[in-house]
Structure 1
Amino acid sequence: MPIIAFVNQKGGCAKSTTSVHLAYWLTYKKKKNVLVIDADAQRSSSVWLASLEADIPFEVLQTPDDLLEQIPLLAARYEYLVVDAPAGLAEACRAILFRADLAIVPCQPTGIDLKSASDAVRIIRQAQSVRGGAPAAAIFLSRAVRGTRLLDEAIALLTKTNIPVLKTVIHQKQVIADTFGQSKVVWNLLGKSATESANEFDRLFKEIMRMLK
């Protein structure tokens, strides 16, 4: 019953997109029993999951006390918990990090996003200090433009955080941006771009699963 949390103080970095896609991948590609916890005030992941034809359960939990108390109880009932953490690094985010087994930081290759990721790493380090090592943590680049100098520079900067940077990069594609509005995930869509994005998510999630072993 691993608990995987997607954490970053900045909105729009792909926390909800990755949470929903991971939940779908675990449920339909790996045949696992999964619950998504939506802790973000915008409730993007729960609205998205409710609109999918796929049957993926979710809970909306947003206060620090609810997160601290309910996450262990829910984890006992499911094979995986996927937590879409709130934007900002408030107490709710810290509560999630006190319960998570693995914290993943999505980061776009821009200056403001790199700073935001560094702030997320800081509170992850604080949680690791309190908990004696947990949660494990990693960063991955999202919404990246292929072949740009900025992408290469971002990878170089992130390696200095002393938290692993996952090899898989999720590149910016319109098909990913369209998934929420179409009540789909990339595996439900046709075309070369959807297939390429689905393959990237597949590689990313396999990397994430290896961190849990």
Structure 2
Amino acid sequence: MPVIGVCNQKGGSGKSSTAVHLARWLQSQSDSVFVIDSDGQRTSSLWLSNLSQPIPVEIIPDPNELLERLPNLATEHQWLIVDAPGTLAEATRAIVLWSDLVLIPCQPTGVDLASASDTVRLIKQARAIRKGEPKAAIFLNRAVKGTRLKQEAFTVLKAVPDINVLGEVIHQRQIIADAFGQGATVFDLGGDAAKDAQKEYSRLFTTILKSL
């Protein structure tokens, strides 16, 4: 079944929070979800293990093991989500080579936009090998509402050829930053702030699934 790799070589782009919330959202729909954490910080595996409804997760940092095991794991679960390292390491290349969709969270800053372009280059290399695959989508993460920088970032991203730039945006919210420490995702929390974050993630993930 589909393999979604969450990739960006820039640390702090929000890979782990995206992977965890996507897994939780899919789980809430009674789907079989399995997560691979290949990031050295181990954020997603720690986060998922502390949820009240734990999601199966395995730590696989070795690129050779990823190449060998991802195809089999994909057949065993309805959804396989892979949290890639925060570098363009060989593990990232292995993930891109086996993903059906590469999801790229990107903060609207010059450094992050430049780093995302390196990830896009890797995707294009994989497409040359795999005859057009994987699909890829990039979205703005941790954006501040009402800022000129956010609009400028959209302009830069839309100039990148052959990459789907999603219109959905995940805005900077304290409740997302606090969710890890509470052993929860925004889908598990109450209050208006959680509901606003839930709506943004749900819109994003619904669009992502339509692209598969």
Taking structure 1 as the reference length, what is the TM-score of the superposition?
A: 0.98
Q: Structure 1: which 4+ aligned runs deviate by more than 6 Å?
A: none
- Please name the residue that 2:139 is paired with: 140
- Please name the residue that 1:60 is paired with: 59
- Please name the residue that 2:16 is paired with: 16
- Please name the residue that 1:206 is paired with: 206
Identical counterparts, % of pairs? 53
Instruction: Figure out how many residues of one structure are paired with residues of the other and give that number.
Output: 211
Unmatched 5+ stretches in structure 1: none
Matched to 2:205, the amino acid is F
Secondary structure at 1:125's aligned position in 2?
A: helix
1:174 aligns to 2:167 (yes or no): no
Matched to 1:82, the amino acid is I
Taking structure 2 as the reference length, what is the TM-score of the superposition?
A: 0.98
- Please name the residue that 2:40 is paired with: 41
Unmatched 5+ stretches in structure 2: none
- Please name the residue that 2:155 is paired with: 156
Q: Hey, what's the Cα distance between the residues in 2 that align with 1:191 and 1:55?
A: 22
Matched to 1:174, the amino acid is Q
Matched to 1:5, the amino acid is G
Secondary structure at 2:4's aligned position in 1?
A: strand
Q: Hey, what's the Cα distance between the residues in 1 that align with 2:183 and 2:208?
A: 25
Structure-to-structure mapping, 1:4-153, within 5 angstroms: 4-28=4-28, 30-153=29-152
Q: Hey, what's the Cα distance between the residues in 2 that align with 1:170 and 1:19?
A: 13
Q: Hey, what's the Cα distance between the residues in 2 that align with 1:106 and 1:154?
A: 12
Which digits, 9 at most, give the CA deviation of each residue in 1:128-171, with x for residues without a partner?
11111110001000000011000000000000112111110000
Q: Is the 8 A contact 2:27 2:33 kept in 1?
A: yes
Which digits, 9 at most, give the CA deviation of each residue in 1:76-95, with x for residues without a partner?
11000001000110111000
Q: Hey, what's the Cα distance between the residues in 1 that align with 2:7 and 2:159?
A: 19
Q: Hey, what's the Cα distance between the residues in 1 that align with 2:6 and 2:54?
A: 21
Q: Hey, what's the Cα distance between the residues in 1 that align with 2:10 and 2:59?
A: 20
Q: Hey, what's the Cα distance between the residues in 1 that align with 2:158 and 2:183?
A: 35
Once the two structures are TM-superposed, the CA of residue 185 in structure 1 deviates from its matched residue by 0.4
Secondary structure at 2:105's aligned position in 1?
A: strand
Which digits, 9 at most, give the CA deviation of each residue in 1:24-69, with x for residues without a partner?
00011x2100100001011100000111111210111111101000
Secondary structure at 1:59's aligned position in 2?
A: strand
Q: Is the 8 A contact 2:144 2:172 kept in 1?
A: yes
Secondary structure at 1:184's aligned position in 2?
A: coil
Q: Hey, what's the Cα distance between the residues in 1 that align with 2:31 and 2:187?
A: 17
Q: Hey, what's the Cα distance between the residues in 2 that align with 1:7 and 1:146?
A: 24
Matched to 1:189, the amino acid is L
